[in-house]
């Protein structure tokens, strides 16, 4: 990335009520030597304390957008990105691939605060135990390696590792897509709980609108690198303006999920 496009503003006097502000973000790749815009002039904010959903079909640019927001994608990125808290973190789609197979769970959890931060050994141990409790896992897992865990346990470890540095903003890029349905709903419940307990703002990415409607406050719909629709969850569900949004909703048979989550009252 062109580092200068990411600014981190942490003084209280400059707070705007958002954890993230993105303006005119564009990511240019080359396809057959021609410019190709994986993200094309995208602007949006993530408000303090909200879960914002980002939905769109495979290849529309969701991961490229999230990688640029965190500065992981560097090349071809232009626009303006403002973070209002330090250490924003990301949870990736594939829990197996994002954990180092040769390291124990204890090492993986301690690593983020070993690299950054000035913690004593005792503090690190305490924080690891707290985090495991937070994601409902037993301390017995500490001596194990990632391949010795179930998919759901691995994703809980990824979430715990992302939270070790106490971020206020988390990007979850398809965090449940690789999991079976029962485990998916457990991880979604965990994210809802962490969102509340840790006052965590989340940009939650999925190609599945059912999952987005179940979890999020507001929704953005992305198509071919552009945000084509954005609004409150209920607004998008009851009066989608774009044909593409309707197609995504039809594809996911979202009706059941929304009526179910509305009657639940406790959708956040």
Ligand X SMILES: Nc1ncnc2c1ncn2[C@@H]1O[C@H](COP(=O)(O)OP(=O)(O)OP(=O)(O)O)[C@@H](O)[C@H]1O
**Which residues contribute to the site for ligand X (CB under 6 A)?**
29, 38, 56, 58-64, 207
* CB 261, CB 213: distance < 8 Å: yes
Q: Shortest distance, CB of residue 35 to ligand X, whole angstroms?
A: 11
Six-digit token pair at 58? Answer: 């495979």
Q: Shortest distance, CB of residue 251 to ligand X, whole angstroms?
A: 13
Return the number of the residue (40 or 63) whose C-beta is nearest Mg ion: 63
Return the number of the residue (112 or 245) whose C-beta is nearest ligand X: 245
Q: Strand pairing partners for 234?
A: none
38 binds, among Mg ion, ligand X, none (CB under 5 to 8 A by kind): ligand X
* CB 168, CB 195: distance < 8 Å: no
58 binds, among Mg ion, ligand X, none (CB under 5 to 8 A by kind): ligand X
223 binds, among ligand X, Mg ion, none (CB under 5 to 8 A by kind): none
127 binds, among Mg ion, ligand X, none (CB under 5 to 8 A by kind): none
Alpha helices in 135-168 (DSSP H): 151-163
Residue 19 and residue 15: Cα distance in Å, rounded?
9
Query: Please, which residues have CB within 8 angstroms of residue 59's CB and are 6 or more apart in sequence?
Result: none
Q: Shortest distance, CB of residue 55 to ligand X, whole angstroms?
A: 10
Residues in contact with Mg ion by the rule CB under 5 A: 62-63
- How many CA atoms within 13 Å lie on the side-chain side of 115? 9
Burial of 74 (0-12, 13-18, 19+ CB in 10 A): middle
Q: Shortest distance, CB of residue 256 to Mg ion, whole angstroms?
A: 25
83 binds, among ligand X, Mg ion, none (CB under 5 to 8 A by kind): none
Return the number of the residue (64 or 184) whose C-beta is nearest ligand X: 64
Q: Shortest distance, CB of residue 62 to Mg ion, whole angstroms?
A: 5
Residue 197 CB coordination number (10 Å): 9
């Amino acid at each position: 990335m062109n580092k200068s496009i990411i600014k981190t503003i942490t003084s209280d006097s400059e707070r705007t009520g958002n954890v993230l502000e993105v303006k005119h973000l564009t990511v240019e790749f080359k396809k057959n030597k021609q410019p190709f815009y994986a993200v094309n002039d995208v602007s949006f904010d993530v408000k303090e304390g909200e879960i914002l959903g980002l939905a769109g079909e495979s290849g529309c640019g969701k991961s490229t957008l999230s990688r640029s927001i965190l500065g992981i994608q560097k090349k071809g990125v232009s626009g303006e990105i403002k973070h209002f808290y330090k250490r924003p973190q990301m949870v990736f789609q594939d829990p197996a691939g994002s954990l180092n197979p040769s390291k124990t769970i204890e090492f993986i959890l301690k690593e983020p605060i070993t690299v950054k931060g000035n913690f004593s050994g005792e503090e690190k141990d305490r924080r690891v135990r707290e985090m495991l409790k937070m994601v409902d896992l037993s301390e017995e897992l500490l001596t194990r390696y990632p391949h010795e865990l179930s998919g759901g346990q691995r994703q809980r470890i990824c979430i715990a590792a992302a939270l070790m540095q106490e971020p206020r903003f988390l990007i979850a890029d398809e965090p449940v897509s690789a999991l079976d349905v029962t485990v998916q709903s457990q991880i979604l419940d965990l994210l809802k709980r962490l969102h509340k307990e840790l006052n965590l703002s989340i940009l939650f990415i999925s190609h599945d609108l059912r999952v987005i409607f179940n979890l999020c406050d507001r929704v953005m719909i992305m198509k071919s690198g552009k945000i084509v629709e954005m609004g409150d969850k209920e607004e998008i569900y009851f009066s989608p303006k774009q044909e593409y949004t309707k197609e995504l909703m039809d594809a996911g048979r979202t009706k059941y999920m929304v009526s179910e989550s509305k009657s639940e009252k406790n959708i956040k």
